[in-house]
Amino acid sequence: MRPGYIRAGAWVFGREVVSPLEKIAGRRAELDELAQALAKQLAEADAEREELAVAKRVAAPSV
């Protein structure tokens, strides 16, 4: 999102006027998408960590 300036209580981005509530809603949507992407990355990292733990147990010499 490009930097904007305030005019009469609304944000102006280029020629588009965005109310403060619309700006807040848009940012919340961006953060929701980011949270979903991070949750997916975390799940993938946890799965890989588990795979490595299994590989370590298989590769380790038995006592």
The pLDDT tens digits for 42-61 are 999 999 999 999 999 999 87
Q: Which tokens sit at 7?
A: 């005019």
Q: Across the chain, what does the average pLDDT equal?
A: 84
Kindly state whether residue 63 falls inside one of the protein's structural domains.
no
Residues 50 and 56: their CA atoms lie apart, in Å, by: 10
Q: Total structural domains in the chain?
A: 1
Query: Is residue 50 a contact partner of residue 58, using CB atoms and an 8 Å limit?
Result: no
Residue 4's pLDDT band, with cuts at 50, 70 and 90, is low
Give residue 39's pLDDT.
98
Stated pTM of the model: 0.63
Phi, psi dihedrals of residue 3, rounded to the nearest 5° = -60, 145
Kindly state whether residue 35 falls inside one of the protein's structural domains.
yes
Residue 8's pLDDT band, with cuts at 50, 70 and 90, is low
CA dihedral sign of residues 22, 28, 34, 39: negative
Kindly state whether residue 13 falls inside one of the protein's structural domains.
yes
Residue 63's pLDDT band, with cuts at 50, 70 and 90, is low
